[in-house]
A = this chain, B = another copy of it.
Amino acid sequence: MTARLRALKPQHETRTRILDAAEELFMQHGFEGTSMRLLTSKAGANLAAVNYHFGSKDALIEAVFRRRLDPMNAERIAELERLEKASAGGAPTPERIIRAFLRASLAMIGDARGGGRNFIRLLGRAYTEPSKPIRSLIGQLYAPAMERYKAAFERALPELPREELNWRMHFMFGTLAYTLAATDTVQLIAGCKPEDRYDAKLLEERLAAFLEAGLLAPLRCGSTVKKAA
């Protein structure tokens, strides 16, 4: 089989089976908590297959994130560009920018069968991973989309000091990450109905309202951040 033909074939079957199994098990037991023996047996592959296909457990982890996160962020950027074209010259409103960013995550949360929901929760956990390589990988994969959204917010909120915007983006990102990743820690106490958690439309409304308000919160000096037209 030539290299060209092989490239046209769907990714090697075992490779994808391993990725699928890894995604699920990493969510259930964490990275360190998932043994390669369990993983490969779930994927119907040999113990040594991971090492053959990915090189190491760490490289497998990276592949799991890249497979979903790269297209996800490309989508986010496309969504933002669509928005900017539509508002012809003027800057899109903060609310629209927020919603554009949320959309990709929420679409994934809705995809339970394809494993998207599982991945989103895995992703949310990755931001606070102890492993430095994993965190910087995530940061690196997010960087291009992040830059674009930061620039969009700067245009939409020219009067908000840059440093304040940095913090508020940090807060917004945290809210999103935690909301999607946290399963039951505080949820049980707060009494959220589990079935609501995956209603993407409702969640978008709730998150967008909260985040927009936080982003536009009055500054301590008394002045209020003005909404862009």
Contact = CB atoms under 8 A, between A and B. Distances in A.
Interface in A174-203: 174-175, 177-179, 181-193, 196
Contacts of A170: 179, 182, 186-187, 190, 192
A28 B129 CA distance: 9
A139 B188 contact: yes
A135 B219 contact: no
B205 A210 contact: no
Sorting the interface of chain A by its residue count into under 10, 10 to 19, 20 to 34 or 35 or more gives 35 or more
A142 interface: yes
B213 A217 contact: yes
Contact of A128 (B31, B128, B213, B215): B128
Nearest to A167: B206
A128 B28 CA distance: 11
Interface stretch (A1-9, A75-83, A105-113, A143-151): A143-151
B178 A192 contact: no
Interface of A: 27-33, 124-131, 135-136, 138-139, 142-143, 146-147, 150, 163-164, 166-171, 173-175, 177-179, 181-193, 196, 205-207, 209-220
25 contacts: A30-B30, A31-B32, A32-B33, A33-B130, A127-B178, A127-B186, A135-B184, A139-B186, A139-B188, A139-B189, A142-B189, A146-B189, A166-B190, A166-B192, A169-B186, A170-B182, A171-B207, A171-B210, A174-B175, A175-B214, A210-B215, A210-B217, A212-B217, A213-B214, A213-B216
